[in-house]
Structures are given as structure tokens and as C-alpha cells.
Amino acid sequence: MRARRTAVVTGAAAGFGQAFAVRLAEAGHDVALADIAPTGETERLVRSAGGEVLGMGCDVSSGESVAAFGAAVRERFGGCDVLVANAGVYPIAPFEEVTFEQWRHIMAVNLDSLFHLTSTFLPGMREAGWGRIICMASNGFHTGLPLLTPYVASKGGVIGFVRSLAGEIGGSGVTINALAPSLTRTQGTQTGPHDELGWFEHVAQLQAIKRTQVPEDLTGALAFLASDDAAFMTGQTIAVDGGAVRA
């Protein structure tokens, strides 16, 4: 094990990814950031939190792009200990208006990316005998969300991926789990039609904690799953959603 653990965070330019990267740096990790958008602001925040940082443009739907990112991570840090597969897209549209090309793009970013990322970083974790893979699901898989059918379907795939792969890697010292948030106010959702549709207020009223979720609401659970304390937890999807899902 290297002196400092390295975390990889995808979709790290803003929103959940930025909050996750900062929390992991605060917990003593160096952090490699991947996004199709510039990661400069997150890089600055990670350094301020005490972590070394690598920021790189990466299309997680492309196996070649992820492989190049993985090579850069290994060259800079020696490997990846914590993989946070956060990048995702969530176009809002009636199902009848969704083209197959749009469907495939959503699946490629939200689900195919798990194949590319895990194929790239899992072998090193197995070799080290320690690793944490944390994926982003959604409580929408349990509640159902109108106008987001492809997105919800992709997140169902994420949950299935986590459950199945956990059984394959459980003896290796590597765990895999998922976090399932509620509708969260981020830079992305603030620029979408969520306010116009009244979704933030509606969803908050369905929760036990009746306020809109923000990315920082998930960072504690993420830090736990990335730690030694979570060594006996794998294959789980944890709803951190203000009590909207009570399973």
C-alpha cells in the first residue's frame, strides 16, 4: 500500500464530483479528477484541502479515453485505491421523444462507463489486496421518475452491476457499493427545467427531511464507504435521500 491512498473521481468538475473530491482530499487522499469539462476549480479546492491532484479531460463512455486516463493516474500516483464512478447525464424528455441515439448516449455515460472504469482500475486493486469502488445510483430506481425513463433504467443497471460484481470480488479485499441520492440541487439541475416543473419542492415534500438535497449531504456516506471501516460492506445501494426511500 502506498503511503497515501489515491482516489479517482469522475464527473469531477462540479456538483457531486467536486464535493466528493474535496471530502476525499480532506480525509487524506490524493485525487485524480476526470471530466469532459475543465476541472480547474476542483483542482484548486483539492489542493486547498491538502491533497495532490491530477485533472484530465476524459470521456467515460469511451474505453480508449478511460484507458488513457488510467495510464496517467498510474504514472502520477502509482495506482487507484478508491474509484468514485460519479459521471452521469440525465436528459429530461417524454419517452416518445427520446431517440435511440439519445438512449444509447445515456447508457454509454451512465452504465457503459462502469465497465470501462472498473476494467481499468480493478486489476490494480486486486493486486494490492485493497480497494473501494463507489458508484452513483439514484433513488429514482425505487420511486420512478417521469420524463427520465432512460436515466432511471441506466441507474437500475448500476445497481445490478454493483450487486453482481460484489460476489465476484468479495474475497479480494475490494468492495463495491452505490449511493442513491434524491433530486439534488447542483449546477446542472439549477440550469435545467427542475424549478419550472416544481420538482425541487415536490420531491422535498416526499422526504422525511423536507428540504432539497445538496451534494454535501452525500459526502459523509462516501467517506465511510471509501474507508477501512467499510471493509465488511459490499454489494449495497445506500439511499441517502432525506428519507424518501425507507426500505
pLDDT band at 23 (very low <50, low <70, confident <90, very high): very high
In a domain, 152, yes or no: yes
Is residue 247 assigned to a domain?
A: no
* pLDDT over 60 (residue 163): yes
For 166-218, the pLDDT digits (tens) are 999 999 999 999 999 877 666 666 565 655 555 667 666 777 788 877 889 89
Question: Residue 246 falls within a domain, yes or no?
Answer: no
- Which segments of 78-148 does DSSP mark as H helices, in order? 100-107, 113-128, 140-143
The single residue of 16, 77, 121, 151 carrying the catalytic annotation is: 151
Q: What is the model's pLDDT at position 160? A: 98
User: Residue 1: inside a domain, yes or no?
Assistant: no
Average of per-residue pLDDT values in the chain: 91
Domain count, the chain: 1
Determine contact, residues 158/137, Cβ cutoff 8 Å: yes
Q: At 137, is the secondary structure helix, strand, or coil?
A: coil
Residue 14 has pLDDT above 60, yes or no: yes
In a domain, 219, yes or no: yes
Per-residue pLDDT, 147 = 87
How do residues 112-139 score in pLDDT, each as one tens digit?
999 999 999 999 999 999 999 999 998 8
173: in domain:
yes
CB 24 within 8 A of CB 223: yes
Give the CATH number of the domain where residue 28 resides. 3.40.50.720
Domain span at 68: 6-240
* Residue 245 is assigned to a structural domain of this protein: no
Q: What is the pLDDT of residue 6?
A: 98
The answer to whether residue 55 is domain-embedded is: yes
Closest C-alpha to 13, from 81, 80, 73, 88: 88
| Torsions phi, psi for 236 (to 5 deg) | -105, 150
Query: Is 151 marked active-site?
Result: yes
Query: What does the pLDDT read at residue 47?
Result: 98
DSSP string, 175-211: EEEEEEE-SB--HHHHTTTHHHHTHHHHHHHHSSS-S
